[in-house]
Amino acid sequence: MRPLQILLVVLALIPAGVLAHDVYRWYETVQEKPNEPFTLSEIGFLWVTYDRSSHDSAVREVGKETWDETVRPIMRMPAVVVTAVPPLLVAVLMGVLWLFGGWPFNRLKGGAKVSKSDFAATAHRQKTFSYKRK
């Protein structure tokens, strides 16, 4: 279960960082314009602002027509929402795995720990050596 939990935490840091960015931009704006409302940044705005060359390269690779039809609506969504989708998907995956007892939640079987003899690799192993303590 550790790998999924670590993945969930790492993925949750991204929307937290985006939200922190938006709060910082709002705080800086309020210093100049006190009545400015809080707004969430669009994912496209962040991409164009901080790495325009990769944005332009992606538009060229995908094609302007395809970009306008499929990618542009996503780029207009708030960045917090777009970056929150992967951690939510991992959380849903963990819930489904827990519900059906799949990996990594299959360690427990009927409330008791699974013994080593339940695994196929160890079920047919015979003892070949035993220690006698004095």
Query: What is the tens place of the pLDDT at every residue in 83-127?
Result: 999 999 999 988 888 888 777 777 655 555 555 555 555 555 556
Q: What is the pLDDT of residues 105-117, one digit of tens each?
A: 776 555 555 555 5
99: Cβ contacts below 8 Å, ≥ 6 apart: none
Mean pLDDT of 12-30: 95
How high is the pLDDT of residue 112?
Answer: 52
Closest CA to 55 of 39, 78, 71, 79: 71
Which pLDDT belongs to residue 2? 79
> Is the Cα torsion angle 73, 88, 20, 56 positive or negative in sign?
negative
Task: State pTM to two decimals.
Answer: 0.69
User: Can you give the pLDDT at residue 72?
Assistant: 95
Joined tokens for residue 98: 């827990």
